Structure 1
Amino acid sequence: MLLAGLHSAGFALFHAAFWKLFGWKHELRKLALPTRAITQILNLRLIYVFAGIAALCFLFPAEIAGTPLGRGLLAFMALFWVGRTIEQFVFLRVNHPMVHALTALFVLGAALFALPLFG
């Protein structure tokens, strides 16, 4: 569970850096207000979800791996990462090393959350 928690914490930090990494202060101004707001709100909610999942993995590893509710959470997160991997190929068809690295990290997330289900 530690690695799954670190993975989630890493994505929380990565999403927290989006404003700077992607120049959102300037780039989002090009969008209509509703799209600009929705983009930032969704990103903030993802930070919250990733940070929460990380905290659960760190604080309740036995409960997550050993209870029906915890195993449901593992399956949910594994499917989240499988879906994110598929969406990468649908929406971001870019041949760039960083895109490939992110895709690998999405696959890693699916594996980290799925592996305890088979152990």
Structure 2
Amino acid sequence: MELQLKLIGFLLVILAVLHAAFARYFNWRHEFAAVSLINRQMMYVHTFFIAFTVLLMGLLCLSSAGELISTPLGRKLALGCGAFWLARLLVQFFGYSAVLWQGKRFETVVHVTFSVLWAYLSAVFVLIGLG
């Protein structure tokens, strides 16, 4: 499981860094032009803090995989991470409309890829958390 956590740590650091490109990729400057300043800034700030949380989770896995597996506090943290990623997996299916990806090759690949990733993260963290 330690190797799984190291792999997860690497993937989460990459995912956190990818968040830096969201505004440009999703054309937020144009998309949010008509949105109030507070709503626009909330999107940027929340995106930053999601990326920061994902980065810290990745660094935790890279630096403390053994402790996450072998200590009571580590297993509790792992269980919390499992709950976080399980919630993200559920949002993948119930928070986003299927209209966004169905019938679109690239979007379907992204949807399936991230669904598998969220399931993998959830499973590893929950299994570690439950001992």
Task: Give the alignment's TM-score, normalised by structure 2.
Answer: 0.80
> Is the 2:83–2:122 Cα contact (8 Å) retained in structure 1?
yes
RMSD (Å) for aligned C-alpha atoms: 1.7
Query: Cα 1:77–1:28, aligned 2, differ >3 Å: closer, same or farther?
Result: same
Q: Is residue 120 of structure 2 the alignment partner of residue 108 of structure 1?
A: yes
Extract unaligned runs of 5+ from structure 2. none
Distance in 1 between residues matched to 2:8 and 2:127, nearest whole Å? 10
Match of 2:68? 64
> How many pairs are equivalent?
119
Match of 1:9? 13
Match of 2:94? 90
Extract unaligned runs of 5+ from structure 1. none
Match of 2:77? 73
Structure 1 runs, 4 residues or longer, greater than 6 Å off: none
Q: Give 1:8 deviation, angstroms.
A: 1.5
Task: Give the alignment's TM-score, normalised by structure 1.
Answer: 0.87
- Which SS does the other structure have where 1:17 is aligned? helix
| Structure of larger gyration radius | 2
